[in-house]
Structure 1
């Protein structure tokens, strides 16, 4: 990638504690150009996730990035929210979130996404999804030409299990599980399994999709050392209101993750990994992601989602929302699901982005 080139990205999200860091990374990585943000039901109601997105952008000094509200429920299912993990607002745990400097826009999210992505040169833009996949499914049904135009789709969602990685997936009631919202299913997939299955079965998209499941995100825990880095910076002297706010959000998320899932070392930071994956393969700026280390092969997968059953069935033990993967023969195209990444580089890059946000806030007198 040329030094001056930037990767155009659109972020579809449901803020959400981890989405805060996805927004930070996509807004401030020097090799990314954030075209806009669309919000979706998920961690909280659409009204909350939309407000949260505009508040986060204000907090990081980037209120100029446009925000468009999208779907308030699934393609065919009612909305389900994660109050037990994120609180009623979706961003419980801090009183430092500012009132948005710029409100969200009224243009339909799907139209805004399509216009922005189609305005980029072919095979350059990435669509990043860190919430329910409803907006993304609507986009490709309403504007099918976008599928062949974009470079890729990066999704945080799903869980593989069966020791796909060494990450702890957590326990509920002393029982090991694969999913984080049911025994088998990860939240983003379970709340709209039809949307997810549509995307994974899409004959164009499934060859340019990267999936970041819990098996990968649970390798990246915000330990006490990481929280100290984010609070005070690499030299230990960079504490700002923004940093305090972010660590307060992490502390709240850490508490709920420890209480619900028994993961006590620190909370996993799911969503920014879907942003980081966009950089993979770009020499000099990538945060390297890895396939199966022992074989050194280029792994690609066929992915489907179990759509039979209701949310209640899933809570009772059914496989509704489960992400089922099949390894494809070597050389065959399919969904990319990495098994690991350079974790220390990820945290270093995230801290660099936080430092850039601090510098912007400083110029505005907002520290």
Structure 2
């Protein structure tokens, strides 16, 4: 067990992001504990975290001297203002994705964190998905050779528009703001930042009032990385498909961690983050034989382990917020490409 004092965490928001994706992971990391929660779902918090202080407003968490780290898990348009308030209150801050609505807001937060000497990170938990870790391992091993085409898809089948801010018209809504940051972050981790970008961002469902489909192509010389998500895809495309001059790797299905957490599971449960062999991806070489590749174990706790070490010991944050700033610049460039219908350089 960890012998150092536990870092008290203040959680802003206790909906899907805060209550399902953040809180159980924080609670499963030695050296962190949920000390305060700002939410209207007081009973839900008290049932799961009876020792946590429950308040109605984020300001009460920012003003709590017993909170060292705040986690922003609220609607997208509130991320930057709340992160700024947390930093100004002297707190270390984790922000759910997207980091901010635009790169200018994000750059302001990075500079403020530097001035206040506080840790700032962005919850790009998908860096610790098992399928992504497997792809990274294969690339590093050279098993694929030089990759010329990579496709990252995240599909859903939702003919009916869901209630909630994610599908309402307004800043920060839409599938590109929701899933684009994860796919761009994964692509940048594997291939770096592209030379150019082209994009198609659409609203396909008749009653939708924000984008529900995107197809973004990142240009790296003669290599192309395609990032796509749709809401009218009943037979999902591969989550990852990478094709190199030695072999191809194709993997279907999403990392299981979110599904387990949504069902009430915990990161400390036996087998958490492990995938069944039936879900493994396949590596196909020049002989045409598809060979299964065991999926690495995913573990989102590794993000919060990095946060703990950054707060306690001044280690580098697990996700550099400057990466998220670059991703927001790339997203803005992709939207511009979609409007103009052309390939645009990215520097």
Q: Give me the TM-score of the superposition, normalised by structure 1.
A: 0.36
Q: Give me the TM-score of the superposition, normalised by structure 2.
A: 0.38
More strand by share: 2
